[in-house]
Amino acid sequence: MSVSESAGTRLLEDHFFFESSFFEHSLYARTHIPVAGQRDVGVLVVPPIGRERQRILREMANLGRDVAAAGFPVLRFDYRGEGESGGEFSQSTVTTRVADTVAAASELRRRSGVSRVALIGFHIGAVVAALAARDAGADLLVCCDPVCGIQAYAKNLVRASILQQTQYSGRPPELESEVRARLRAGNVINVYGFFAAAPFIDELETLDISGALRAFPGSSAIMYFTPKDAPPPQPVQAWGALLGARCAVQPVTMNFSWTTRKRWVPRLRPLNEAVVGWLQTTGQEAAALC
């Protein structure tokens, strides 16, 4: 355990593995706990996957510190098969990631003593967070630039694997039908260095998240990246409608891309400020000082 400082607030930071009855592999996690002035709402950061997780790894760490500096204890974790956690990426699915999130929420409560939890999900992690919210007992939900077109996202993973064959190995690209036949036969596909199997792709392509969004009873926010202040895209509006009247749809004006680094920034400051501001305002009653 170490002590750091963010925005003038001293934080206890710890790195550890934890076990759960949900899985046979240990999960790796980090906590950022304010030394003083802790609120009774803990924040669980639910990451994206694969290359996108790597894309914002530093940024998620700084988000955790900024949120903790505002008094909210934070836990960040790696899904099984990613980062420092045990298991294989090829054996992970949407269902396993939801179970990992539920277990991480329980670990956050155990280590920080909070009674209420906010889930902050990034991109496809926002889908995982929404699906996990009920079993995790989440009171607040923040979806950061969520993947609203889940089936299209899954299809693009398959297409990315095909594109890589030409770009990196020089082999003629396969037909999509041939790739899917290999998946059905039990093989894996390489998606930007991460090996995905049929159960994960199939689950994404058949996933209907509308029920989980409608059923979430707490306050929520959808924060979407936009290079200039603009109305939310129609899929984002649709998510907001499903979450209902207690959902705030909020633009985060900055030049951000999930696939490239147009400008190196270790901290997504506009997003961090939006998240902290929303937590302080919306979670005010739940976040009474201990």
Looking up residue 115, the CATH number of its domain turns out to be 3.40.50.1820
- Of all residues in the chain, the percent with pLDDT exceeding 90 is 81
Give Cβ neighbours of residue 240 (< 8 Å, ≥ 6 apart): 222, 232, 247, 249
Domain boundary among 163, 185, 207: 207
Is there a contact between 82 and 92 (Cβ–Cβ < 8 Å)? yes
Residue-range definition of the domain harbouring residue 114: 2-145+216-282
- pLDDT, residue 290, reads 31
Q: Identify the DSSP state of 89.
A: G
Pairing of strands 9-18, 27-34: antiparallel
Residues 100 and 13 in one domain: yes
Is there a contact between 201 and 184 (Cβ–Cβ < 8 Å)? no
3-state secondary structure of 176: helix
Residues 203 and 276 in one domain: no
Token pair of 143 as six digits: 């979806």
User: Which residue in the block uniquely carries the two structure tokens 């999900």?
Assistant: 121
Domain boundary among 185, 207, 229: 207
72 alpha carbon, distance to own chain's centre: 18
Q: What confidence tens digit (pLDDT) does each residue in 13-60 have?
A: 999 999 866 567 799 999 999 999 899 999 999 999 999 999 999 999
Residues 32 and 122 in one domain: yes
290 part of a folded domain = no
Residues 242 and 121 in one domain: yes
Confidence of residue 196 (pLDDT cuts 50, 70, 90): very high
Residues 140 and 83 in one domain: yes
Number of domains comprising the chain: 2
H helix or E strand, kind and range, residue 32: strand 27-34
Q: Over the Cα atoms of the chain, what is R_g? A: 19
287 part of a folded domain = no
Token pair of 185 as six digits: 């036969």
Q: What confidence tens digit (pLDDT) does each residue in 122-163 have?
A: 999 999 999 999 999 999 999 999 999 999 999 999 999 998
Domain boundary among 207, 240, 256: 207
Phi, psi dihedrals of residue 264, rounded to the nearest 5°:
-75, 120
**How far is 210 from 29, CA to CA, in rounded Å?**
29
